[in-house]
Amino acid sequence: MKITFLGHASLEIKIDEFSIVVDPFISGNPFASDVDIDSLKPDFILITHAHQDHILDVEKLAKENDSIIISNFEIVNYFQNKGLKGHPMNHGGKWNFDFGELKYVNAIHTSTFPDGENGGQPGGFIISANNKSIYIAGDTALTYDMKLIPLKYNLDLAVLPIGDNFTMGYEDAILASDFIQCDKILGYHYDTFGLIEINETNAIDKFKERGKNLILLKPLESLEV
Ligand code: NI
Ligand code: MN
């Protein structure tokens, strides 16, 4: 799997010939101005929850690429009502897609659409393909539910929010990394707005003190698992 950071909480994941875009918020993010949204050709769009900074570019991308939107029931329903394609899931469920197995897991957060529509309950995803598994936490607090993940999955990478205020901060992300038994963490959801600015060097050092690796990418930088 090749994971490319697209700014804030947006990712592109390439598995074999498939492109999966997660939580696209590109056109509204000045820090992602190098990302050419028209170069993205997602076969699938994964949405963790309905907040603006996770769904802004879903309609455009899905319409232009005939993408399948995967999220909770309410979010998929919302986009299906706009004529887009979707596959609804709910917490604890998994499904085998063409790219691999996907599980929708718990997150502690909220999930109302910008227009006030009900966005169901927020979640995260575990993607398993080609003998690798990654966890994308979405916006979430640190939660004991994370301890369930290593009972079934041996994670090769976890993508965790570290910006604090709206989600856990990096101190809690270190504890999350213990809970999920994965020491390789890609940090996201930080620095985009004033309320989630962090000291990046400090965050990386704190992980290092615990023998863990916090990776912070610039938009369009990638890593491979
Ligand atoms: Ni959110
Ligand atoms: Mn968010």
User: How far does residue 82's CA lie from ligand 2's centre (Å)?
Assistant: 23
Among all bound ligands, the one having the nearest atom to the CA of 29 is 2
What's the whole-number mean pLDDT along residues 7-20? Answer: 98
Among all bound ligands, the one having the nearest atom to the CA of 111 is 1
Asked whether the CA dihedral 59, 106, 137, 129 is positive or negative, the reply is negative
Structure tokens of 14? 């390439």
User: How far does residue 170's CA lie from ligand 1's centre (Å)?
Assistant: 16
| pLDDT score of 41 | 98
Among all bound ligands, the one having the nearest atom to the CA of 49 is 1
**Are residues 172 and 163 in contact, defined by beta-carbon separation less than 8 angstroms?**
no
Query: Hey, is 120 helix, strand or coil?
Result: coil
Q: How far apart are CA 191 and CA 205, in angstroms?
A: 17
Average pLDDT of every residue of the chain: 98
Protein residues placing their CB within 5 Å of the ion ligand 1: 51, 139
User: How far does residue 55's CA lie from ligand 1's centre (Å)?
Assistant: 10
Among all bound ligands, the one having the nearest atom to the CA of 53 is 2
Q: What is the pLDDT of residues 133-150, one digit of tens each?
A: 999 999 999 999 999 999
Q: What is the pLDDT of residues 123-134, one digit of tens each?
A: 999 999 999 999
User: How far does residue 131's CA lie from ligand 1's centre (Å)?
Assistant: 30
pLDDT band at 155 (very low <50, low <70, confident <90, very high): very high
Q: How far apart are CA 196 and CA 15, in angstroms?
A: 31
pLDDT band at 87 (very low <50, low <70, confident <90, very high): very high
pTM exceeding the 0.95 threshold for the entire prediction: yes
User: How far does residue 50's CA lie from ligand 1's centre (Å)?
Assistant: 7
User: How far does residue 167's CA lie from ligand 1's centre (Å)?
Assistant: 8
User: How far does residue 8's CA lie from ligand 2's centre (Å)?
Assistant: 8
Among all bound ligands, the one having the nearest atom to the CA of 50 is 1
User: How far does residue 29's CA lie from ligand 2's centre (Å)?
Assistant: 12
| pLDDT score of 140 | 98
What's the whole-number mean pLDDT along residues 86-99? Answer: 98
| pLDDT score of 170 | 98
Among all bound ligands, the one having the nearest atom to the CA of 23 is 2
What's the whole-number mean pLDDT along residues 21-47? Answer: 98
Residue 65 phi, psi dihedral angles, 5° rounding: -120, 5
What's the whole-number mean pLDDT along residues 69-88? Answer: 98
Q: How far apart are CA 166 and CA 29, in angstroms?
A: 17
CATH number of 2-216: 3.60.15.10, 3.30.110.30, 3.30.420.40, 1.20.1070.10? 3.60.15.10
Among all bound ligands, the one having the nearest atom to the CA of 193 is 2
| pLDDT score of 107 | 98
| pLDDT score of 64 | 98
User: How far does residue 60's CA lie from ligand 1's centre (Å)?
Assistant: 20
The contacts of residue 76 (CB under 8 Å, 6+ apart) are: 69, 70, 86, 87, 88, 89
